[in-house]
Chain A
Amino acid sequence: MRKLLLLTLLVAVPASAQLPGLRRRDPAPPAPVQNPIEVLRAAFAAQSGGTTVYFAPGSAQLTPAARTLLTNQAMWLRQHPEVAVRIEGHGDPTDTRNHALALGAERAAETRNYLILLGLPSAQVSAMTWGKERPGPPSAVTTLVAPALGGAPLVPAAR
């Protein structure tokens, strides 16, 4: 199984901004109204060549293909300094729980470090890991809108 790491876009929008399939347990948004974050995400994905960085199994090393993609992403992000991104790392479903968490975190950190190396301000890029939680199509990709810097929390407060 290929390991995936997803780069998600985010901007400072109210936490109530709904994107189809992005928030678990919430009812689907009533109408596919294009909101600014969707437009930005689509533009980012199209113009930088994708949002997903792939790794070899068990590895947190960036492949040449990954570096090319990240270079394109960095270029786009330098032109959009107002857009913060959150890098979400994933392990493999057959990893043990905590190894998957650590591997996802390693991959996210390596990716973030590379973007910073390419000149992005560190405050524009955050990183986290899902380990083997939240698998999604295809092959365990998850897409979540992350909080803006100082913004609302990603996960709704408990209760």
Chain B
Amino acid sequence: MRAIRIGFFALLGAAASAPAAAAVQPGTPAATVIALPPMTTPDKGTKGNEMLAVAWQATLLIETDLRQTAEVMPLEPNRKDYYSYPEVTAPTFSKWRDKGARALVTGFVQSRPDGRYTMGCYVYDVEKGRELGRSGFVVAPDDIRRAAHKCSGLAYKEITGSPGMFDTRIAYVAETGPMNARVKRVAVMDSDGYNHNYATPGGTTVLTPRLSPKAHRLTYVSFQSGLPQVQIVNLDTQHQQPLLQGPAMSFAPRYSPDGSKIAFSMMLGANSDIYVVGENGGQPRRLTTSPGIDTDASFSPDGGKIVFESDRSGTQQLYVMDADGSNERRITFTTAAYGSPEWSPDGKYIAFTWRFGDTRRIGIISPDGTGEQILTRGPADEGPSWAASGRELVFQRAEGNGRPALYRVNLDGSAPRKMTIPQDGSDPNWSGTMD
């Protein structure tokens, strides 16, 4: 996988770096309408025409990004709404107010002597007529897509207060072949479906890929040794290595929010417990000691707590403990079973798989055990993973024919949407925003 660098630079002019004081109250049921005139360029002549074409592509990418969200609705960009370069920083607010837009995104793309492009991105509150935020990115021509995602992320953040999930990756298990003899490979793609790559070759069963917070590394479970064991792969160099030495069965790995540690489950005889170890190995530290199955650990965003599932009460339930294994506390108490928890990036919720009989659904609950909500209808939904925005989840759903597919569901209660991937998919995992 290509290493991509985006340089940030300070835009000219004293940036009125207003905090994310959003023009529109987050949580407003209706989507915020946002005006998105074509990006422009300060370049002249032939170069200017070339850059205008690039800028138009970027504008369309931003429209696609924002249209995927439940919170922001971009007006369709119209090439007739051409903006001159000076207008980027001095827009005519009344025009957009009249069209019903409450926010405005403008920007430009400029060629640089070194062959790269500079993109400037500006977000305005149309009603108050003031700037909400601005950012600039320097990218290789091939990476204009990522600069557009960064601009979408800025607009989303200024309007909703949540980080955008546009410049992120999704890892999952790509499945092919008949249901009783599946070929499983770890696949990684950008969240818009581009840059789809396979990280493992397919001769070995693999499970549960989990990206590092900035999506440069990946941990997963491989049966290559004949036992399930946690592996680590660097996506930039393709270097693979086992997390641990020795013949123990290990599984359910997950990165800490700073990427330095991995929590995982390991079998000691007939007992599955949760351990934590540095990403580069070392002596694992045991965090749980109960007889029975403790597994599926997930860190809180500050790294201070861990949510996990345990069947110590007789059924699978969710528990929260401090990251050193102390202060275990059960947070679910119904007759259903709760598994595969993942803590949201904003810390507010824990997503889980809810299971009752043979029915599995996706739900969320506050870390204190209140506010449980079931978001999907099943009957075979599993393995939720949060978008960086904390407002959306990706999960696995077995279709009527039993084949697994990836779906996204928003917390607003709208229907889940199927994602487009080249083959069947399971065990999805959504990264944080890349840098």
Contact = CB atoms under 8 A, between A and B. Distances in A.
Interface of A: 1, 24-25, 58, 60, 94-99, 101-103, 105-106, 109-110, 113, 128-129, 131, 133-137, 146-147, 153-159
Given A60-B270, A102-B295, A106-B293, A128 B183 contact: no
B203 A157 contact: yes
A94 B336 CA distance: 13
B226 A154 contact: yes
A157 B180 CA distance: 21
A98 B201 CA distance: 22
B226 A97 contact: no
Given A105-B249, A133-B207, A158-B224, A98 B340 contact: yes
B270 A110 contact: yes
Contacts of B177: 25
B385 interface: no
Contacts of A129: 228, 249, 267
B276 interface: no
B376 interface: no
A102 B296 CA distance: 10
Nearest to B297: A98
B226 A102 contact: no
B398 to A, nearest CB: 9
Give the interface centre of A98, A101, A113 by most chain B CB atoms within 10 Å.
A98
Interface string B211-254: 00000000001011111100000000000000000000101100
A155 B270 contact: no
B340 A97 contact: yes
Given A106-B272, A106-B293, A158-B204, A96 B382 contact: yes
B383 interface: yes
Contact of A99 (B180, B224, B316, B427): B316
Contacts of B389: none
Contacts of A134: 180, 205
Nearest to B208: A97
Contacts of B224: 153, 155, 157-158
Counting contact residues on chain B (CB < 8 A from A), the size range is: 35 or more
B158 interface: no
Nearest to B339: A96
A77 B296 CA distance: 37
Given A128-B226, A129-B228, A131-B228, A102 B272 contact: yes
29 contacts: A1-B358, A24-B183, A58-B311, A94-B358, A96-B355, A97-B207, A97-B208, A97-B383, A98-B251, A98-B265, A98-B339, A98-B340, A99-B309, A99-B340, A102-B267, A106-B267, A106-B271, A106-B272, A128-B226, A129-B267, A131-B207, A131-B251, A134-B180, A155-B204, A155-B205, A155-B223, A157-B203, A158-B200, A158-B201
B43 to A, nearest CB: 47
A106 B382 CA distance: 22
A27 B249 CA distance: 30
Contacts of B106: none
> Chain A: interface secondary structure?
loop
B115 interface: no
A109 B382 CA distance: 27
B353 interface: yes
B203 A158 contact: yes
A97 B427 contact: yes
B360 interface: yes
Given A99-B309, A103-B293, A25 B225 contact: no
A3 to B, nearest CB: 13
A131 B311 CA distance: 16
B16 interface: no
Nearest to B316: A99
B265 A102 contact: yes
A136 B207 contact: no
Contacts of A157: 203, 224
Given A101-B228, A101-B252, A102-B295, 19 more contacts: A24-B181, A25-B177, A25-B183, A94-B358, A96-B316, A97-B208, A98-B295, A99-B340, A101-B249, A101-B251, A101-B265, A109-B269, A128-B226, A133-B223, A153-B225, A154-B226, A155-B224, A158-B202, A158-B203
Contacts of A159: 201, 203
Which of the listed residues A58, A105, A131, A146 has the most CB atoms from chain B within 10 Å of its own CB?
A105
Nearest to A94: B358
Contacts of A97: 207-208, 340, 382-383, 427
Contacts of B270: 60, 105-106, 109-110, 113
Given A129-B249, A136-B180, A155-B205, A96 B383 contact: yes
